[in-house]
Chain A
């Protein structure tokens, strides 16, 4: 069982709470009918449940189902989709570069990324109740050896 990126948006909007349609609509930033159709699809898939007024994530989802939904394969596909749409909307803000880093610089850079990771996680925990899902900032980072990328591309 896989979920679409739009379904993921809705699930992440609901998170561990019970939310009304209006709340999900406002917080997700989706168009009304897209939000409605997505909620219906998630209810049919039994991933979310509703008591008529509130929607909430089904706590009784089988473990295998949760693992499948959150599998690396699907997360990779969603990530590619997010980055594609990031490039379609904010290409000027995208930085990707092949940098010459010696071992020492690599260690420093990894430490900086770790700090960035902690900072971002702390910010998220601190302000997630105040910031609507649609107003969250999409950030991504990573590093890899160019050789490995080339090997992957060329085979």
Chain B
């Protein structure tokens, strides 16, 4: 495994510390046994490296958006009317409630195998 591959795997483990091998296999589309080998230092194919780097890139993008969201909420609290704030709260609450029902679906179907 070269330096870039090693660093990518390290960044992945840091970003997703609780991901099991099965979860990594599910996320990347790479076979479970192959994931095991990669996590234990076997060289990756170019396509496999790209998959890991894409996932990390998306997560970085998500983190930026989360920071933007937090900043804008602070601005909104200072600037908007109570009525507008209530509308936004209701909107987010509805999204969260719908998400709860849908996410319960997903977590019920992923069985956890912890990384050793």
- Asked if residues A33 and B104 are in contact (CB atoms below 8 Å), the reply is yes
Kindly list chain A residues whose C-beta atoms are within 8 Å of the C-beta of B108.
33
Kindly list chain A residues whose C-beta atoms are within 8 Å of the C-beta of B3.
none
- Asked if residues A6 and B104 are in contact (CB atoms below 8 Å), the reply is no
| Interface assignment of A13: CB less than 8 Å from any CB of chain B | no
Number of chain B interface residues as a range: 10 to 19
- Asked if residues B105 and A31 are in contact (CB atoms below 8 Å), the reply is yes
| Interface assignment of B70: CB less than 8 Å from any CB of chain A | no
Interface size on A, residues (CB 8 A): 13
- Asked if residues B105 and A4 are in contact (CB atoms below 8 Å), the reply is no
Kindly list chain A residues whose C-beta atoms are within 8 Å of the C-beta of B90.
77
Majority SS of interface residues in chain B?
Answer: helix
Kindly list chain A residues whose C-beta atoms are within 8 Å of the C-beta of B109.
33
**Residue of A4, A77, A155 touching B101 (CB-CB under 8 A):** A4
- Asked if residues B98 and A6 are in contact (CB atoms below 8 Å), the reply is yes
**Residue of A5, A33, A81, A155 touching B105 (CB-CB under 8 A):** A33
Kindly list chain B residues whose C-beta atoms are within 8 Å of the C-beta of A5.
94, 98
| 11 more CB-based (< 8 A) A-B contacts, given A33-B108, A155-B81 | A4-B94, A4-B97, A4-B98, A6-B101, A31-B105, A37-B101, A37-B105, A41-B101, A77-B94, A80-B91, A81-B94
A-B contact pairs, 19 of them (CB 8 A): A4-B94, A4-B97, A4-B101, A5-B94, A5-B98, A31-B105, A33-B105, A34-B101, A34-B102, A34-B105, A37-B101, A37-B105, A38-B101, A41-B101, A77-B90, A77-B91, A80-B91, A81-B94, A155-B81
